[in-house]
Structure 1
Amino acid sequence: MHGLSIDVATAAERTVVENLVQLYIHDFSELYAGTPRGDLGPDGRYVIDIPLERWWGGAADHVPLLLRVEGRLAGFALLNASAHGRAAVDYNIAEYFVVRKYRRTGVGTAAAHAIFSHRPGRWEAAVMRPNLSARVFWERCIRSHPKATGIEIADRNNFTWNGAIFRWVIAPG
């Protein structure tokens, strides 16, 4: 996609990611009905329950990315190597967010494809059960990547995860 850039977020950009996470949690809050998750704190901000410090703690397997279109912020991706199952992965899409302005424009798919292509290996993305639009997005996105092979979709409902887990491999080259 023309004008799309994906860069590793620097320590100085951590607050940018934290600000985008506020929008991300806002979007998720409708999926948390009936639970304390997604409640606003007394300062009017969402409590961030994502351990963001891990992405700036020097761990090589935690990669914070900022998505931009024509230089304007369009979202973020947080990658790590934590699998939801027993099989190891090279990359897990821990969190992925595209601001509403850029949704359904191809930005989310183009960014994900670029991220995958830049990092060949075993991938995973887990989608919580009530997030049906994300499930549809990830299935289409993964299946449409020209180098995605071995695509598996597991449905889990246990104490560690409740929802779909996508696993696939991106071939090098």
Structure 2
Amino acid sequence: MMRADAETVSVRLAGWSERPLIERLAQFYIYDFSEMEPPGSKEMDFDDHGGYSPLPDLDLYWRVDGFRPLLIRVRQRLAGFALINSRHHRDGSIEHNIREFFVARKHRRCGVGTEAVGQILAQYPGHWKIAVAERNVAAKAFWPRAIGVAPTVTQLVQLSGDADHWRGLIWSFRAE
């Protein structure tokens, strides 16, 4: 099994012409989330064309200052995406927030996500918050490990959502 490192994993800003890549990858991201829906939920059902509704406000990532669409590659092959913005679920605005983060299942549990997070934090230093939905058990295990091994992270604090704006955990920290 491949172990991810900076030679095999790369993270870079997506250009406008690469938006369709993120739109297609987002279908798999939403599909992964759909298994967390409670029985009887009408959320995350397929549309009439067999897909999911697009991620809301995706255009903003190419138009608004502080919003960044990122592509994650493994050995130059597309492996995932991250959407970074300056809005946070609990406190309104923040310097950096990972709104969405997706690594294809093929590349999970071998360090790709952790390496990608480390590269993102190195590329965008400052104050970060990362929120994880209460029902996302895998992400609640992944994020503290990925943040904790990033060499530039300080002042790491785990918070809880306020239940009005967010239900789940929030990690607040600085990346230098």
The TM-score bracket by the shorter chain reads over 0.9
TM-score, length of structure 2 as denominator length: 0.92
Alignment of 1:100-111 (within 5 A): 100-111=105-116
| CA shift in 2, pair 1:132/1:157, >3 Å | farther
Deviations 1:14-52 (Å, cap 9, x if unpaired)?
110000000000000011223222100010001124321
What residue number does 1:143 align with?
A: 148
Give yes or no for the alignment of 1:42 onto 2:48.
Answer: yes
- Which runs of 4 or more aligned residues in structure 1 lie more than 4 Å from their structure 2 counterparts after TM superposition? none
Q: Which moved more, 1:120-129 or 1:41-50?
A: 41-50
What's the secondary structure of 2:50's corresponding residue? coil
Task: Give RMSD over aligned pairs.
Answer: 1.3
Q: Deviations over 1:41-67 (max 9, x none)?
A: 0100011243211112x2121100000
* Residues 11, 70 of structure 2: 8 Å contact kept: yes
Residue 117 (str. 1) matches residue 129 (str. 2): no
2:57 to 47, 51, 61: 51
Task: Provide the rounded CA distance (Å) in 2 between the counterparts of 1:47 and 1:86.
Answer: 27
**Structure 1 gaps, min length 5:** none
Q: Say which structure, 1 or 2, has more relative contact order (CA 8 Å, 6+ apart).
A: 2
CA 42–73 in structure 1, closer or farther in 2 if over 3 Å, else same: same
Residues 117 and 93 of structure 1, relative CA distance in 2, 3 Å threshold: same
**Is the Cα contact below 8 Å between 1:148 and 1:169 reproduced in 2?**
yes
Matches of 2:78 and 2:169, distance apart in 1: 28
> Percent identical across equivalent pairs?
38
Distance 1:170 1:120 in 2: 5
Q: Secondary structure at the match of 1:90?
A: strand
- TM value normalised by structure 1: 0.93
Q: Is 1:14 matched up with 2:19?
A: yes
C-alpha spacing 1:61/1:136, structure 2 compared with 1 (3 Å): same
Provide the C-alpha distance between the structure 2 equivalents of 1:5 and 1:151, rounded to a whole number of angstroms. 25
Q: How many residues align?
A: 170
Unaligned runs of 5+ in 2: none
Q: Is the 8 A contact 1:84 1:165 kept in 2?
A: no
